[in-house]
Structure 1
Amino acid sequence: MRRISDLIDGLAAGVSVRSVDGAGLGPSVLKTSAVDQGRFLPNEVKTILAADRGRARCNPVAGSLIMSRMNTPAMVGDVGYVDKTYRNLYLPDRLWLARSKRGARTDMRWLTYFFASEPGAALLRGLASGTSMSMQSIPKDRVLALEIETPDADEQRAIGGALAVAERLIATLERLLAKKQAIKRGMMQELLTGHTRLPGFTAKWDELRLGDHVSYVKNVALSRAQLDTSSALRYLHYGDIHMTSSTVLDAARAPMPRASSAIAGRAGLLCVGDLVFADASEDPDGVAKSVEITGVPPEGVVPGLHTIAARFEKRVLADGFKAYVQFIPSFRTQLLRLAAGTKVLATTKAHVSSVVLSLPAVVEQRAIATVLRDADKEIAALGVHLAKMRAIKQGMMQQLLTGRVRLPAEVAR
């Protein structure tokens, strides 16, 4: 057991300076969001105003730890490891910087991972206090007085190195996932507008008004409190549409709220191929958010509160392609122009029906959907891989940072 004051040379803070959003315009001050669960994010900055640049102090330096001393209750005490020196960046007064105490040989990467782990983070959060529940702060003397179980310097370095390898793998997967997502966005922009055509397709696209080729399935508005968990009938709530990252919904397999079968006579049952929109959003990006139904259970599923369930003629919109209609730029533009409301933007059946789109023949729609669906599968597989790698790292932290599992002696040398 060793005190934090025996491991680090103190906790140095920056100063409060006036700044503006944006980076790359001169010396910058870090935001409190520059530390996130052990990571240091040097792009989370604001540019310091020229009049205050002479006041800025305390640079992030290689081999140091940065800690958030003031933040929301969930994020106070968050930490990040700094692997190189940044001469043009400065800490604000809400962040502390710590370096290894001379002679202690503390591995600051190991200490960062300790405070990023659940036990370590809980220790720091337990020190926080404040009159406001939205903002809490940690006293410096209480951090320095903390006592933690500490392996010797060689084992610290070995643990930090092992976790850093996992961290690098995660970062690589994150970059690859972001790249694949950007590629898919570019593919949608090209293929859904006809700027780029798939091989073998040259036929002219036709304009059509959606209202000439759609019918609507009657929905039923129930609050969460009115749902019946004992019923078999499934209920699609608009919040479930907003919360999913997928463009499709297999209602036969997805966990969904249940509604009393007594309401079935008041609402229509969804079918495979139906496109269900959330008709309200607080965010412009949520306007036109929809899912295409790819499976229904025998007991049925009904469209619920704040949903618009559209059933398009299959000769006009192909199954599989409907999921991507929400990403057609002109579709979003038309719905955004019509969306009404100040705090909440509302879409109606009339709005959807009024949209005019330029669309390819159904056979080309199916080909476009296949390409985009393959991209979605690749992205989903990467997401699963990334989640597993994060879980592995979390498990490593729980075992190595508590001493439950020890590294081989030769690794620690």
Structure 2
Amino acid sequence: MTGTVPKGYKQTEVGVIPEEWVVAELGTTCTQVTTGKLDVNAMTPNGQYNFYTCARDYYQIDTYAFDTEALLVSGNGANVGYIHYYKGKFNAYQRTYVLSGFVDSIKYVQHYMGRNLSERIRVEVNAGNTPYITRGTLTEMKIALPPTKAEQEAIAEALSDVDALIASLDKLIAKKRDLKQAAMQELLTGKKRLPGFSGEWEVKRLGDCLISRPDYGINAPAVPFSDRLPAYIRITDISEDSRFSPEKLVSVRAANAGNYYLGDGDLVFARTGASVGKSYLYNPLDGRLVFAGFLIRVRPDPAILIPAFLAAYATTDAYWNWVRLMSMRSGQPGINGNEYAQLPISLPSIPEQTAIAAVLSDMDAGIAAVERKRDKTRALKQGMMQELLTGKTRLV
């Protein structure tokens, strides 16, 4: 062994790779690099051909400009550097790079770019108002290549198999979420009753189902996260599926922070902006949380309203229709505490509320189990890429 480089390996500008591997610029393994010619609005609903823009999804169009096997790289915007693979007839936006005519395995190159292009973009991206990459960012990108196409394709196949598993898990998660959403629309409105329950539901105002009046969060700045301080929950920290999912944990330091701790059964609702109506039911597993000023806390009386039932109701069409109506009345996106107290909810008995919440909780647990499997598979793929795309593990 010489230094930290194992025998049979060499140090290169892309890291340590096997001695027989080579480092090449993308422009030498990909003989054609061009862009589409069309405006982003050229798409046609139900068109015959795929139309690739700088979005993660592709669209349809009635004409094609390419008939080849290619990698399509988003050249600007929020998804700059995102890579599509396609073989056949297609068209492309003028800021979408079309890479074709590959000397080496196109699938291997796709996986290699998928792992390394984001870092190259981070270093070299031209930010400005709209992030974009230049042709040179792609063509001058260095790629570590196994010596034979057979080895390249073996690596690509192994990684593609994992991608296929991840895609199948994503589809299963989406299906389970759709089933849960359908179940909620039926169970939370009384359209479908669980076995053993009957009788009329009673419509109540939310304010009549609470232990105390809705109250507003603390007005204090966020500080860097510390395990000696409570975490801070703000509107932006609540996901679309009502989870505490901050991009980056932060804390709050204030003498009166203790007045704003969330407890078991507490829910918070977003009261302003584009996220008005978004909600979160406190989960003790999320740790100590202090809620911010643009959130409103409600504390259901469990003798009248089960918190989990209210949390589920806050995802239904009936709830969101009410949110839109209230926002329109005020002339701007916003619902205050008094207005939230007027929210009408159709309530069954406490035993039926509990049974409905249990059914939905079981569905959530099923979704979470598949999500955990998907996340573990993603982590596995990251480890596989680290091994296979650097030659630490050889398949042939």
How does 1:217-228 map onto structure 2 within 5 Å? Answer: 218-225=215-222
Structure 1 residue 22: Cα displacement: 5.2
Return the offset for 1:156.
0.5
What is the SS of the residue equivalent to 1:193?
Answer: coil
- SS of 1:166's equivalent? helix
CA distance in 2, matches of 1:219, 1:364: 31
Instruction: Give the whole-Å Cα distance in 1 for the aligned partners of 2:378 and 2:221.
Output: 33
Q: Cα offset for 1:109?
A: 0.2
1:337 and 2:332 aligned: no
> Match of 2:337?
349
Alignment of 1:155-166 (within 5 A): 155-166=151-162
Q: Which residue of 1 aligns with 2:279?
A: 290
1:380-391 maps to which residues of 2 (within 5 A)?
Answer: 380-391=368-379
Question: Offset at 1:114?
Answer: 1.0
- Higher mean alpha-carbon deviation, 334-343 vs 318-327, is at 334-343
CA positional deviation for 1:202: 1.6
Supply the distance in 1 between the matched residues of 2:343 and 2:138 (Cα, whole angstroms): 60
Residues 222-261 of structure 1: pairs in structure 2 closer than 5 A: 222-225=219-222, 232=229, 234=230, 237-239=233-235, 242-243=238-239, 245-246=241-242, 257-261=251-255
**Match of 1:290, as an amino acid?**
S
Deviations 1:49-92 (A, max 9, x none): xxxx5xx5124x34x32233x213x744432222x42x3x3123
Query: Could you say if the C-alpha distance between residues 122 and 21 of structure 1 is closer, same or farther in structure 2, counting changes exceeding 3 Å?
Result: same
Q: CA, structure 1 residues 92+290, in 2 after alignment: closer, same or farther (shift >3 Å)?
A: closer
Q: Which moved more, 1:149-158 or 1:362-371?
A: 149-158
2:108 is matched with 110
Give me the whole-angstrom Cα distance separating, in 2, the residues matched to 1:134 and 1:23. 27
Secondary structure, in 3 states, of the residue corresponding to 1:312?
A: coil
Q: Percent identity?
A: 25
CA deviation digits over 1:331-375, x for unaligned, max 9? 332232112699962111211121222211111110100010111
Q: Distance in 2 between matches of 1:269 and 1:115?
A: 45
Deviations 1:26-53 (A, max 9, x none): 555321225xxxxxx5xx12546xxxx5
Letter in 1 for 2:106: M
Q: What is residue 176 of structure 2 aligned with on the other side?
A: 180
Write the distance in 2 (CA, Å) between the matches of 1:146 and 1:294.
Answer: 45
Asked if residue 30 in structure 1 is aligned to residue 22 in structure 2, the reply is no
Amino acid at match of 2:92: L
The match for 1:378 among 366, 371, 374 is 366
Q: CA deviation at 1:108?
A: 0.6
Q: How many residues end up aligned between the 2 structures?
A: 369
Aligned position for 1:81: 85
Letter in 2 for 1:393: K
Is the contact made by 1:221 and 1:305 (CA closer than 8 Å) also made in structure 2? yes
Q: Which residue number corresponds to residue 99 of structure 2? A: 98
Structure 1 residues 357 and 145: alpha-carbon distance in aligned structure 2, compared to 1, 3 A threshold: closer
1:148 is paired with a residue of what secondary structure?
A: strand
Asked if 1:138 is matched to 2:134, the reply is yes
The answer for the alignment partner of 2:294 in structure 1 is: 306
TM-score normalized by structure 1?
A: 0.77
| 1:339 match: secondary structure | helix
Cα drift, residue 171 of structure 1: 0.8
Q: Is the 8 A contact 1:272 1:293 kept in 2?
A: yes
Residues 11-90 of structure 1: pairs in structure 2 closer than 5 A: 11-17=33-39, 19-20=41-42, 23-27=45-49, 29-34=51-56, 44-47=58-61, 53=63, 56-59=64-67, 61-62=68-69, 64-68=70-74, 70-72=75-77, 75-82=79-86, 84-85=87-88, 87=89, 89-90=90-91
Partner SS, residue 111 of structure 1: helix
Give the match for residue 202 of structure 1: 198
